[in-house]
Amino acid sequence: MNKKIQRSLAVASAATLIFGVSAVSSAGAAQKTVYLAFQAPLTGPNALTGQDELTGAKFALSEYNATNPTVKVELVLADDQGDPTVAGSLAPGIASNKTIIGLIGPAYSGATQASLPAYKAGGLAMISMSATRVSLTDKKAPVNGFPIFKRVVANDKFQGPALVRYATKGVTSPKVYLVDDISAYGAGLADYAKKTITAAMSAGKDSVPVNTSDYTSVVAKVKASGANVVIYCGYAPDAAKFVKALRDGGYTGVFASGDGTLKADFPVNAGKAAAEGARLTAADVPFENLATAAQMVAYTKLTGIKVPGTYVTSTYNATNIFLTCIKQGSITRPGIQNCITNGTFKGIAGDTIKFDRYGDIIGGAAVGAFTIKDGKIVYGGVA
């Protein structure tokens, strides 16, 4: 299916979902029904991100339902495919549906940036679980999310340096070759990684567009540079192709990447041998490391998943912030906005979540370190 048809279908399906809701709803006689939109890639090459995150939102809502609330909450699913063009087409329809009082997401930075004009105009409060681009909360940026945008993850100002630290850990005389995919997310993460790479550490830098099929030229540059560490700032589908090309080309050094690559399908698409040992970071801690045993049993029963994917924790936290506000009686867009802006909340780890004026968590958030071992993602603590 070509991209134009995919985008048309995505827009059409989202418009349907806005009025015919796919929902996880409360049992019993609810006095009032309100809607939260969930925006992420649910189809396309980055679908695993949104599908993982959606389980966090549904689980939070299932716990809310168990309290037999008087306000019924349902989810409106908006599939933006992680594509800014699709997101920009979806957002006006969501913004114009006044029954939607808040939005969980978007998941991706580029999709968030493209959605902001419509959501700002509609006064729709947003809490992203994984959009890390710094400019989204930068008061000086031409396009930022003030006053409606918040996020429950550390931005790339924190992740960039953490990625470099983790990529070079234990490497004698590291020589780093930095590659980005020119996307809003990839280029932004690379900018902050670059600031931590000293002149003595730098082996070179390149930019390779999303959906590149042939990485031969950049592999040749990496090998010629003498790099023993390659850092890739981009998403999992291209990271898989790139690391495979590197290994096929004879590169034996460290391969590292950020949260855009931290997906269960990365080692599958790259091949077990090529992905082995890859070092990945994400502004996330695995859900199973924080949830109680009872919560994990309930999560698996609800989703059928034993090992939660990336950003389930942050999605669970983002959803619960909305649900906390709803429990407190905020069931309008202005009410939700006021509650989120001024409230203090608790994350699943017992951490305090309070947002600064422009939407970041005061005090920052953890950046986790992960490694691919035997084809699986293994958490190694804070980067």
Statement to judge: residues 127 and 276 lie in one domain: no
Statement to judge: residues 228 and 121 lie in one domain: no
Q: Read off the pLDDT of residues 42-69 as tens digits, 9 standing for 90 and up.
A: 999 999 999 999 999 999 999 999 999 9
Distance separating alpha carbons of residues 188 and 358, to the nearest angstrom: 18
Are 81 and 43 contacting, i.e. CB atoms less than 8 angstroms apart?
A: yes
Statement to judge: residues 92 and 200 lie in one domain: no
Statement to judge: residues 164 and 149 lie in one domain: no
Count CB neighbours of 352 within 10 A: 12
| 377 part of a folded domain | yes
Query: What integer best gives the mean pLDDT of the chain?
Result: 92
| Structure confidence at residue 366 as a pLDDT band (50, 70, 90) | confident
Are 149 and 355 contacting, i.e. CB atoms less than 8 angstroms apart?
A: no
Statement to judge: residues 162 and 246 lie in one domain: yes
Statement to judge: residues 202 and 337 lie in one domain: no
Number of domains in the chain: 2
| 360 part of a folded domain | no
| 72 part of a folded domain | yes
The amino acid that residue 374 corresponds to is D
Residue with the larger pLDDT of the pair 11 and 235: 235
| 270 part of a folded domain | yes
Structure tokens at 305: 């998943």
Residue closest to 53 by CA, chosen among 237, 239, 264: 264
Statement to judge: residues 26 and 128 lie in one domain: yes
Statement to judge: residues 217 and 141 lie in one domain: no
Q: Read off the pLDDT of residues 252-308 as tens digits, 9 standing for 90 and up.
A: 999 999 999 999 999 999 999 999 999 999 999 999 999 999 999 999 999 999 999
| 26 part of a folded domain | yes
Statement to judge: residues 205 and 304 lie in one domain: no
Residue closest to 188 by CA, chosen among 141, 145, 228: 141
Statement to judge: residues 148 and 180 lie in one domain: no
Q: Domain residues for 239?
A: 157-282+367-382
Written in H, E and C, the secondary structure of 236-257 is HHHHHHHHHHHHHCCCCCEEEE
| Structure confidence at residue 31 as a pLDDT band (50, 70, 90) | low
pTM for this model (two decimals): 0.88
- Indicate the SS3 state at residue 306: coil
Statement to judge: residues 252 and 234 lie in one domain: yes
Residue 364 is predicted with a pLDDT of 85
Q: Considering the chain, what percentage of its residues have pLDDT values greater than 70?
A: 92
| 362 part of a folded domain | no
| 358 part of a folded domain | no
29 pLDDT above the threshold of 70: no
| 356 part of a folded domain | no
Statement to judge: residues 49 and 147 lie in one domain: yes
Phi, psi dihedrals of residue 127, rounded to the nearest 5°: -130, 110
Are 75 and 22 contacting, i.e. CB atoms less than 8 angstroms apart?
A: yes
Structure tokens at 171: 């490497």
Q: What is the CATH number for 15?
A: 3.40.50.2300
